[in-house]
Amino acid sequence: MSKTILNNYFQSLFPIPEKIVEEITGTFCDFSLSKNTILLNKDTISTKTYFLEKGYMRSYILNQDNEEVTTNIYSAPCFVNDFLSFFKKQPSKEIYQTLTDCSFWETSLDNVQANFHNIPEFREFSRLLFVINYYKLNDRMIEVKSEKAETRYLNLLKQQPNIFQHISLKIIASYLGITDSTLSRIRKELSKI
């Protein structure tokens, strides 16, 4: 499989010379998973970091009633991982599952650490990636606490319109922090406008 999408992703935050990008991605190996496959399970330590090249994934937890609560939805291209588990070698608190057939690239912590120590452009890319991911997480937390369900739905529809063609409404409702019946009602009401 060609590393074009992976290499382009590394150049998406700021320009990195192609030769350096190829050095960074040289240790990445490709693999695929079928729909509804667990990539990383709860209480497992993440030993790899994953780049989702194609497909959709989610992370979720089980609440006190043993119901699945979607914490994040990932659409390619992006990095997917429990980074705390990966870097701190502690068990994951979430389950990471494919929602469609997915294609990935993976590399180990040793390779990531070597890149951190030897490639300044990788350090800068990683720093920016962490800042962007923190911003998205913080923004989502604020949105869930401060916005109405309809607004959260409309924001998701605007930011990721294709998500509704690939992911069940039950999972989207869970991600939005509402029931699937509430999501159906919102969609029905908005269709009348």
Q: Percentage of residues in the chain with pLDDT exceeding 90? A: 77
Using the 8-state DSSP alphabet, how is residue 35 labeled? T
Q: Could you read off the pLDDT of 87-132 as tens digits, one per residue?
A: 999 999 999 999 999 999 999 999 999 999 999 999 999 999 989 9
Inform me whether the pLDDT recorded for 193 exceeds 70.
Answer: no
The angle, 0 to 180 degrees and rounded to 10, between the axes of the packed helices 169-176 and 149-159 is 120
Tokens of 84: 């705390």
Under a CB-based contact definition with an 8 Å cutoff, are residues 104 and 32 in contact? yes
- Compute the average pLDDT of residues 21-31: 95
